Amino acid sequence: MVHDAYGSPELLELRDIDPPAIDEDGVLVRVRAAGLQVGDCFGVRGAPFAMRLVSGLLRPRYGVPGFDLAGQVEAVGKSVKRFQPGDEVFGACRGSCAEFASTGENQLALKPANLTMEGAAALPTSALAALQGLRDTGSLRPGQKVLINGASGGVGTFAVQLAKAFGAEVTGVCSTANVELVRSLGADHVVDYTREDFARRGERYDLIFDNVENRSLSECRRALTPGGTLILNSGTGARGIEMLIRLVKPLVVSPFVRQKLRRYLSTPNHDDLVVLKQLVESGKLRPVVDRTFPLVETSEALLHIEGGHARGKVVVTL
């Protein structure tokens, strides 16, 4: 699925293009399923503008959406050690909404044995964001009280399960329709945001993992313990200068307060993909797949994500 210009996902066209070339340390994967997320919508629209620093200033450099894949290794470069043709893998790449995608061996791991291709493609970006956010940025420890805002979305469904696996007491925030889902993922408490405001409940959390950012910084800080950590994992709801202020303000305030106010960018790597594989195979983590779409309906899949109410992950199948 290709777009030659930035704009609505409806611009995407099904077209024959050459398979991507691989160099010495590259891996060519025959894609079976491609996990999508909000970042793919940004990439297709070229907005927020900062995305274009990576994808091309005036027009998309590559023009195939999709960062996440599951599939079979088709070919490997001379210096690749971990994989060989035929291996079933999952991980991160450039342009997974295509029959073939190329990537480096450090961005792949063997697919969890107990997952379908669709389930494995749902993992990489969102589950890594949850893992690295809670474990590395949040330094989550057993017994801590964690609140996950946006608990029913692509990142949130993984964050609830991972926080439980780390031994935390977990509160998830979602709408009425998703209360049972979030509870089934292991949340100890669920706040239905249509009935109750998590920032005004009088509860204090050691860690707030905010995938929505619909509350002001001061409201979130009031719901944190004095030494607690706020992880801001969105910031893209606003536009222009308002977005810039929202992105930067917590980082400017943080050095002057006891609470830790953090932003981070997750990065795909082999070791963390293996951590996810082990968690899935031991039954501690499972992907929640909201909907699957055939490749020709990639535009519909992206528009569904842009609706802001995906229930877990959206996956394109090939």
Residues that bind ligand NAP (CB under 6 A): 37-39, 125-126, 129, 149-150, 152-156, 173-175, 178, 193, 211-212, 214, 233-234, 236, 264-266, 305, 308-310
Compare residues 152 and 259 and give the one whose CB is closer to ligand NAP: 152
Compare residues 26 and 124 and give the one whose CB is closer to ligand NAP: 124
- Residues with Cβ < 8 Å from 243, sequence gap 6 or more? 48, 235, 236, 237
Could you tell me the smallest distance in angstroms from the CB atom of residue 99 to ligand NAP?
A: 25
For 158, the token pair is: 């993984």
Compare residues 29 and 181 and give the one whose CB is closer to ligand NAP: 181
Q: How many Cα atoms sit within 13 Å of 29 on the Cβ side? A: 36
Smallest CA-to-CA distance from 205 within 190, 191, 185, 226 is with 226
Compare residues 13 and 219 and give the one whose CB is closer to ligand NAP: 219
Could you tell me the smallest distance in angstroms from the CB atom of residue 59 to ligand NAP?
A: 23
Cα gap 285→297, rounded to integer Å: 28
The residue whose Cβ lies closest to ligand NAP is 153
Cα gap 176→191, rounded to integer Å: 9
Could you tell me the smallest distance in angstroms from the CB atom of residue 233 to ligand NAP?
A: 5
Could you tell me the smallest distance in angstroms from the CB atom of residue 85 to ligand NAP?
A: 30
- Between helix 124-131 and helix 270-281 the angle, nearest 10°, is 90
Compare residues 125 and 161 and give the one whose CB is closer to ligand NAP: 125
Could you tell me the smallest distance in angstroms from the CB atom of residue 39 to ligand NAP?
A: 6
Number of H helices and E strands in the chain, helices first, is 10, 13
Smallest CA-to-CA distance from 97 within 7, 8, 3 is with 3
Contact status, residue 36 vs residue 27, Cβ threshold 8 Å: no
Could you tell me the smallest distance in angstroms from the CB atom of residue 186 to ligand NAP?
A: 16
Largest CA distance in the chain: 59
Could you tell me the smallest distance in angstroms from the CB atom of residue 15 to ligand NAP?
A: 27
Cα gap 294→136, rounded to integer Å: 35
Contact status, residue 207 vs residue 133, Cβ threshold 8 Å: no
Compare residues 14 and 245 and give the one whose CB is closer to ligand NAP: 245
Compare residues 39 and 77 and give the one whose CB is closer to ligand NAP: 39
Cα gap 250→230, rounded to integer Å: 9
